Amino acid sequence: MGCIAILFFMPFVELKAQQKEKKIIQFSGVVVTGDSLKPVPFTNIFVTGSRTATVSDYYGFFSFAAEEGTDITFSAVGFKKAHFLIPDTCHETRYSMIQILFLDTVMLREATIYSWPTREQFRQAFLNMDNMNDDMARAQKNLAKEEMEIISMNMGMSGQENFKNSMQQYQTRMYYAGGRPPITIMDPLKWAEFVRAWKRGDFKDKK
């Protein structure tokens, strides 16, 4: 019985010895794209079939400790998964590699986009829509006096108006150079310009 027990026990001892013989190495590398060799940032790198995992940095670099003969899976959004088997014949404690990932094209099913959740809501909104078929009526509404006044009050001077005003001021200074310009406090044109500037809000405190 003692010999039989030894015979059955020996395979387990040999298996345990083989498991202890697996060397731990520092597995490092860079993950790049297959078309332009640009780094793939934040790639998920994990040991296949286990919870051991890490993530590459912004430049695609990674480094972690792993056993020889381990299957490594590389996964990134928009790329196909890749596997790499660490050789079990490493003579050093470090192993470096470059992992290439190829783009993965995902075909989505056709989707129809509606502006309203249900047909009934769309029908009700369509019936309540103010549909102006007459181009002349639409133009008259857009060019209404009240609308134009509101737009003109909120609109600043154009480049042409600024240039014209600047040239007029320059011409006035040149005309009265060496003399005293007239007092324009009672000039109706100046008062009209002041009123327009006041309506536009040019004198408001802009913070």
Confidence of residue 55 (pLDDT cuts 50, 70, 90): very high
φ/ψ region of 178 (left if φ > 0, alpha if ψ in -120 to 50, else beta) reads left
Closest to 74 (Cα-Cα) out of 98, 108, 92, 90: 98
What mean pLDDT, rounded, does the chain reach?
80
When pLDDT is averaged across residues 166-194 and rounded to a whole number, the result is 77
6 is written with which tokens? 């030894």
Confidence of residue 3 (pLDDT cuts 50, 70, 90): very low
Instruction: Find where tokens 């500037």 sit.
Output: 197
When pLDDT is averaged across residues 180-199 and rounded to a whole number, the result is 76
For residue 71, CA distances in Å to 49, 68, 109 come to 9, 9, 34
The full set of domains in the chain, from first to last, is 23-101 (2.60.40.1120), 119-200 (no CATH)
